[in-house]
Copies of this chain bind each other. A is one copy, B any other.
Amino acid sequence: MGRLITTKYLLIISYDGSNFHGSQLQNDLRTIQGDLETVIEKVFGVFSRVSLSSRTDSGVHAEFQVGTFDVEKNKLDSFSVRSALNSYLEEDIRIMDVGVLTSDAIFFDPRKDAISREYVYIFNDSQVLHPRFRDYVYHVKGKLNEHIMNKGASLLLGKHDFIAFAGHSTSIKDYTVREVFQSTVTRTEHFVHFSITSNGFLHQQIRRISGLLLQIGLGKKSPDIIKHYLDSKVRGEFTNVLSPKGLCLKNIKYKDNFLQKFLTN
């Protein structure tokens, strides 16, 4: 009959973003999407476009990124696909889990169907930063007050226009209102974690908010300054974009625990 039947695979991906030029495909530069498409072609013998849920910049890490790709009807099970892809991928990117989407889930879109994303920005205020953490935290000179930072972070909860934290790449016609479901600052020894969950983020939004929380934590600004920027409506008013290496994509959620139906772990 000539009908093309495809298999849609779901990927849970972790990476150390240090040596990538971000997640999104760029000519001649190493990217998450590029590496994935290259190894998928090696394993399946055909090119397949990879869709990723969240865009991460150069140097930003992911514990839990979601991707999909389609290939012609294929008999490889989840476990074999994971092993095969990991055997070709470099060690700084790993497929943690693979699912095979059934025919009723064939239109699943990892980006559009996500209902929330959780990111963490990690500060470290030890006197000397242990070498092991150098690519994963923002090392602060001075001591952070995490309680006052948490007070600032809590003001982000709810629906706000984040245009004051937008970068150049946010276009004038882009919708800049987002809803924040969770926003907290906690400390574990010398690590201060800013965790935020929202229905979406503008480009550089978290790194800019982290820059403001840093000033708050060092006592240079009052936590109420957050309100000022949420009310300001001045595009890109807050200009201090912190290093990408403190930022990590931690989780992505879909309606009705969609992922869990297809994953083995």
Contacts and interface: CB of A to CB of B under 8 A. Distances in A.
B92 A131 contact: yes
Interface string A229-247: 0000000000000000000
A128 B93 contact: no
Contacts of A95: 128
A14 interface: yes
Interface of A: 14-16, 61, 63, 82, 86, 91-96, 127-132, 134, 136, 265
User: How many copies of this chain?
Assistant: 2
A94 to B, nearest CB: 5
A136 B16 CA distance: 14
A135 to B, nearest CB: 8
A72 B130 CA distance: 30
Q: List the 5 closest A-B pairs by CB distance, nearest first.
A: A91-B134, A16-B131, A92-B131, A94-B128, A96-B128
Contacts of A63: 130
Contacts of A131: 14-16, 91-94
A15 B133 CA distance: 11
* Most chain B CB neighbours (cut-off 10 Å) among A82, A92, A127, A134: A127
20 contacts: A14-B130, A14-B131, A14-B132, A15-B131, A16-B132, A16-B134, A63-B130, A86-B128, A91-B129, A91-B134, A92-B131, A93-B131, A94-B128, A94-B129, A94-B130, A94-B131, A95-B128, A96-B128, A127-B265, A132-B136
Contact of A82 (B61, B128, B130, B265): B128
